[in-house]
Structure 1
Amino acid sequence: MARVVVIRIADEEGLWVIDLDARSVVPLDPPNAGGLKAVTDHRASGKIVTKGVDVAVVVKSAEAAFSGHYDG
């Protein structure tokens, strides 16, 4: 099972790579080719692209998430 996720938050620039095993989050340079480039191109045209993720929400802070708060 994959333990790495690439995300982008709506209305913000840039991609992020989350490596769950390494417990790290690092910025990802915009891809120049390949499948991820196609995904970012679709996203740039306003499409939302998801694959293999069944929950993804933005919360105001880590503290809010750990407290179980979610402003939906």
Structure 2
Amino acid sequence: MAQVVVLGLAGTADLWLVDFDAGTVTPVQPSSGSSLGQAVDLRNAGATIVKGIDFAVKASSASSIASGILD
């Protein structure tokens, strides 16, 4: 089974599909009637949606992560 996750950063409308097996990140455009589209509507209304993720931290740069600094 592929290891993928859809991410969206707070303050941005973009969604990204991260494929850990392939090592790729690509933009996602969900259709409005899909389950992902419904999740986007909830997100736009201020909801935070987390499923199957047990650790996520936004950082200011990759170098801060490498040095162990989390914002």
Per the TM superposition, whether the score is higher than 0.5 is yes
- Superposed, 1:1-72 pairs within 5 Å as 3-71=3-71
Measure how far apart 1:2 and its partner are.
5.1
Paired with 1:43 and 1:70, the residues of 2 have a C-alpha distance of: 24
Identity across aligned pairs (percent)?
A: 39
Q: Distance in 2 between matches of 1:51 and 1:66?
A: 26
User: Unmatched 5+ residue regions in structure 1?
Assistant: none
Using the size of structure 2 for normalisation, the TM-score is 0.90
The CA RMSD measured in Å over matched residues stands at 1.3
Q: Note the C-alpha offset of 1:12.
A: 1.2
Take 1:31 and 1:47, find their aligned partners in 2: how far apart are those partners?
A: 19
